[in-house]
Amino acid sequence: MDLRDLEAFVAVAEELHFGRAAARLHMAQPPLSNRIRHLEKELHLPLFQRSTRSVTLTDAGSRLLPPARRALNQVAAVRDIATSIASGEEGRVRIGFAGASSQRALPLLTNAVRRTHPGIELVLQSQTYVYTAFDQLTSGDLDLAFVRVPITHPELSHRIVQVEQVLCALPEDHRLADADAVKLEDLSDDGFVSLPEGARSMLRATMHSMCLSAGFPPKVVQVAPDSATVLALVAAGAGVTITLSSVCQAQTVGIVYKPIEGTGPSHLFAALGWRSDNDSPALQRVLEVGESALPTPDLYGLDITGS
């Protein structure tokens, strides 16, 4: 059934005048009459009673008018939704996040998107570690993710949204707890609490790299599945660890945080990452919102190369 035939039927049924209906549809009257005849032939039903003076609906026409209106309204709704999807006002964006680093940034972004673009569905996927998000972005399983710089995947674009200080976490009764800062070489004999070896965690990799640069491999005495548990174990006296300023809020009792002197990066950088060839209009809207909800911080004087 041609939708234009239904539009012609509804117009004539509402106007009860072929001339007015033709003007409403911006067409000549003879083609309109042809459409009505075509529809009546297809339905095997007379829809109108015509005379030289008037046009009235038949019983069949009266019964068919409500479903015809509903059909046209549904088609209009489909067109409206398609327009919204094409413009990015509706759609779905899958966002990956990991660890304490995104605990502040994630709600700032999602709340701003829901406020400004309520038609965009946000699917939030928790990743245990950041490197997992790289894999899922490159495979297309995620549209957007909180990641860390440097990013070695040429197919990904990113924008830095947070600067995090690298800190040493010590039990509050540690011998260096009163020091202004800590040199990692002074911890060469200490036990370290670490994330799992196979975790593909950038924080774990950073800790091991910094210790090796300080002249020793970290002696891991306890392994924990996430940063919050790592800090809880440090507070309990199980060992020391390397952590980030964004993670410190997870544990404030029984633990002290110290800047690190002379070894490795002083900061890590959290970023939003996405595939450069992802042309989803909804993703573009989320990225636009992110520029105001999570503005790029001042990076002057900071090394973002990861060297």
Within a domain: 304:
no
The answer for 50, left when phi > 0, alpha when psi is -120 to 50, beta otherwise, is beta
Instruction: Look up residue 184 and give its DSSP letter.
Output: G
Domain boundary among 42, 69, 87: 87
Domain boundary among 68, 87, 106: 87
Closest CA to 193 of 142, 125, 158, 243: 243
β-strands 255-261, 156-171 pairing? antiparallel
Within a domain: 298:
no
In whole angstroms, what separates CA 196 from the centre of its chain? 27
Choose between 301 and 211: higher pLDDT.
Answer: 211
Within a domain: 303:
no
| Over residues 143-162, mean pLDDT | 92
β-strands 55-57, 48-50 pairing? antiparallel
Within a domain: 132:
yes
CB 103 within 8 A of CB 74: no
Question: For residue 260, what are the CA distances in angstroms to 27, 29, 161?
Answer: 78, 84, 23
Q: What is the pLDDT of residue 128?
A: 55
Within a domain: 306:
no
**Helix %, strand %, coil % for the chain, to 5?**
45, 25, 35
**Are residue 100 and residue 157 in the same domain, yes or no?**
yes
CA distance 250 to 57: 72
Q: What is the pLDDT of residue 307?
A: 47
Domain hosting 42: range is 3-87
Q: What is the pLDDT of residues 48-78, one digit of tens each?
A: 998 878 899 999 999 999 999 999 988 888 8
| Over residues 153-162, mean pLDDT | 94
Q: What is the pLDDT of residues 252-274, one digit of tens each?
A: 899 999 999 987 788 889 999 99
Confidence bin at 92 (pLDDT 50/70/90): very high
Within a domain: 237:
yes
- Amino acid symbol at 187: L
Give the other-Cβ count within 10 Å of 235's Cβ: 19
Within a domain: 146:
yes
Q: What is the pLDDT of residues 170-226, one digit of tens each?
A: 999 999 999 999 999 999 999 999 999 876 788 898 999 999 999 999 999 999 988
Domain boundary among 59, 87, 115: 87
Q: What pTM does this model have? A: 0.70
Task: Tell me how many domains the chain contains.
Answer: 3
CA distance 20 to 13: 11
Judged against a pLDDT cut of 60, whether residue 161 lies above it is answered with yes
**Are residue 235 and residue 142 in the same domain, yes or no?**
no
Closest CA to 218 of 247, 244, 239, 245: 239
Is residue 44 classed exposed, middle or buried when 0-12, 13-18 and 19+ CB atoms within 10 A define those classes?
A: exposed
Quickly count helices (H) and strands (E) in the chain.
Answer: 9, 12
Instruction: Look up residue 204 and give its DSSP letter.
Output: H
Within a domain: 307:
no
Closest CA to 268 of 145, 108, 147, 92: 147
